Structure 1
Amino acid sequence: MRRFNRRVFTLPVPLTAFSLFGFGKGSTTSNDDSSQTSTKQHSTSRIGLPRYIDHTALKPETTQSEIAKLCNEAKEYGFASVCINPYHIPYASDLLRTSQNVKLCTVIELCFIKKMLKKGFPLGANSTFTKCCETIESILNGANEIDFVTNVGMIKSNEWDKVAIDMTCVVLASKYTYQWVQSKKSELNRTEVSVIAHYIISTVEELRKTGKAKKVDKNWAKFDDLTNFVQSYNFDTDTKSKKETCLVKVILETCLLTDAEIVRACQVAVQSKCDFVKTSTGFSSSGATASHVSLMRATVDTEAKKLGFKAGTIKVKASGGIRNAVQANEMIKAGADRIGASKGVEIVQEDLKTQSKKTS
């Protein structure tokens, strides 16, 4: 049963910079040693190429029959996930209900104005509150992986505290809502969805200003653990427990950034507790490159170690323009843990033919 299936109505919430997760007044991030970290080459033999692929259909004209085909192919080939627009989540969730291995990934703030699309300019420019509400709605409808676009304009304006707020709040909205769904708590209405988003953002603000956070208003005692959740959330690195979690991937749109901006954005993503950094939406001026993937891999590993986590805690997703097995394997060798592609079937079939020739 879906826990929420109505459009969220959102209101603007003012944001300020904050110190949570290492971003505050006087905090700095360095890229001195990130690009020098050696990148361990991955091998598709580790899990097999299909398990790297997020089978993707994000064009606005995608039909329900195409979504059904996408889901069936994902189950047949054993892809990591299907990645679709939020509107199709309830339908795809029903189709994938019997498949525990194929995750349901959706995109937040992956919207494009026609004129901007021609210029290759993706939007990550909605308010953080709106992104949080979209994220909560998507998870309540059945999504268990969230890909969202960071605000490229903030990066270009050197507003790194705001970038960190944006990333952190989406992460917290994802993790809290998924925990809510997994614990089989009651359904949420639109007002409650807005309350969760509001309290996440306002708690982050309060932590920035005073170092303390106010408890949830008694009128919303249903969410009395929310403040503590925001204060204490960390990466779930206990792989032994095999605890399922909602993965959050932040899309940097690397083709619009300098190498220095990519490094800094990756550092912010790690400190904001994103699970993945992702190259591209696939709708901008160009897509993933092996050099960008390698840079991202080195940076997130270095930053993770600084925070006391193992290299590999934060993953890298390559997407945009990956249309064949040669390109896919090139990205994996550069350090990608996932491949976003609309041609997943063709990529796998081509790879199987290549492997067959090598063994014959």
Structure 2
Amino acid sequence: MTNNSSASLIDHTLLKPDARLGEIQKLCKEADQYHFHSVCVNPCWVSAASSSLADSDVKVCTVISFPFGASPSRVKAFETEQAIQDGATEVDMVLNIGQALDGNWDYVAKDIQAVAEAAHAHSDSANNPIVVKVILETCLLDDDQIVHACKAAVSAGADFVKTSTGFSSGGATVHDVALMRETVGPDLGVKASGGIHTREDFQAMVKAGANRIGASAGVDLI
């Protein structure tokens, strides 16, 4: 895999709570320079990132109900709408982890659906849809729960399933990525994120089935 093709898989990420404007602008500059797929920033920085990347092909991604996923569905939908108005073209929502652990998969699916419907309703065209990724927080789920969460994401109209926020007890693993890919099949996206710091980590996740990588170490990875 060439550096360019590797870069096109990366969501160049800065989600720490104390990030400042200068760091966001640096992130955007690096993403444009290295041709990353997107920058992923907290919602308050979407407008700044969108402005910085106005003349670039780099997408602006943000997170919804991050990092806990415990907001009511209507709040997640509103946050999604606001992010899109601010310039986001991709949203990474955290599913309701407590409901997943309780096995309330109908709730989980409807929660995801609320975000997916809000995003797809605000897509500017069929050729340029808002991409919805669902963060499962796999370190808190067992294999059966991961499978159920993936199926809920598929049924609710999501475009990707994603391993981790990077703010819980663990990040992406090869096992979880492979399980997610097996469950969703070849057509839905799988994003590995959390703890991907080396070229070897990157290649292992891609080999396991990831077609997007979320990382704060994007420059080092390529």
- Paired position in structure 2 for 1:82: 39
What aligned pairs does 1:40-79 form with structure 2 within 5 A after superposition? Answer: 44=1, 48-79=5-36
Alpha-carbon distance, 1:46 to partner = 10
TM alignment of 1:30-179, pairs within 5 A? 44=1, 48-100=5-57, 102-111=58-67, 123-179=68-124
Task: Name the residue aligned to 1:202.
Answer: none
Aligned counterparts of 2:204 and 2:119: Cα–Cα separation in 1: 31
Using structure 1 for the length normalisation, give the TM-score.
0.60
Structure 2 CA distance, aligned partners of 1:73 and 1:172?
Answer: 32
Q: For 1:248-259, what aligned pairs fall within 5 Å after superposition?
A: 248-259=132-143
How far apart are residue 136 of structure 1 and its match? Answer: 0.1
Residues 219-270 of structure 1 show CA distances to partners (whole Å, capped at 9, x for unaligned) of xxxxxxxxxxxxxxxxx7xxxxxx1111100000000000000011101111
Partner of 2:170: 286
Q: Which residue of 2 aligns with 1:117?
A: none
Aligned-pair Cα RMSD in Å: 1.3
Larger Rg: 1
> How many Å separate the matches in 1 of 2:9 and 2:32?
14
1:89-125 deviations in whole A, cap 9, x for unaligned?
111111101012x1000001114xxxxxxxxxxx111
Could you tell me how far apart the structure 1 residues matched to 2:194 and 2:55 are?
29
Alpha-carbon distance in structure 1 between the residues aligned to 2:102 and 2:162: 21
Conservation of the 8 A alpha-carbon contact between 2:10 and 2:37: yes
CA separation in 2, counterparts of 1:158 and 1:299? 18
How high is the TM-score relative to the length of structure 2?
0.97
Deviation track 1:190-228 (CA, whole Å, cap 9, x = no partner) reads xxxxxxxxxxxxxxxxxxxxxxxxxxxxxxxxxxxxxxx
Take 1:174 and 1:256, find their aligned partners in 2: how far apart are those partners? 26
Q: Where in structure 1 are there 5+ consecutive unaligned residues? A: 1-43, 112-122, 183-235, 237-242, 302-311, 349-360
Give, as a single letter, the amino acid of the residue that structure 2 aligns with 1:299.
T
Give the Cα–Cα distance (whole angstroms) in 1 for the partners of residues 106 and 29 of structure 2: 42
Tell me, what secondary structure is at the counterpart of 2:128? coil
Instruction: Return the match for 1:332 from 185, 203, 206.
Output: 206
CA contact (8 A) 2:4 2:35 kept: no
Paired residue secondary structure (2:179): helix
Do 2:122 and 2:130's aligned partners in 1 also have CA atoms closer than 8 Å? no
What SS does the aligned partner of 1:178 have?
coil
Equivalence for 1:316: 190
Note the alpha carbon deviations across 1:304-355, whole angstroms, 9 max, x for none: xxxxxxxx3211000000011110110000000000000000111xxxxxxx
Q: 1:48 to 1:271 in 2, by over 3 A?
A: same
Shift of 1:45: 5.1
Indicate the structure with greater strand content: 2
Identical aligned residues as a percent? 48
Distance in 2 separating the partners of 1:70 and 1:46:
18
**Paired residue total:** 222
Residue 165 of structure 2 contacts residue 171 of structure 2 at CA under 8 Å; is this kept in 1? yes
Structure 2 segments unaligned to the other structure (5+ residues)? none
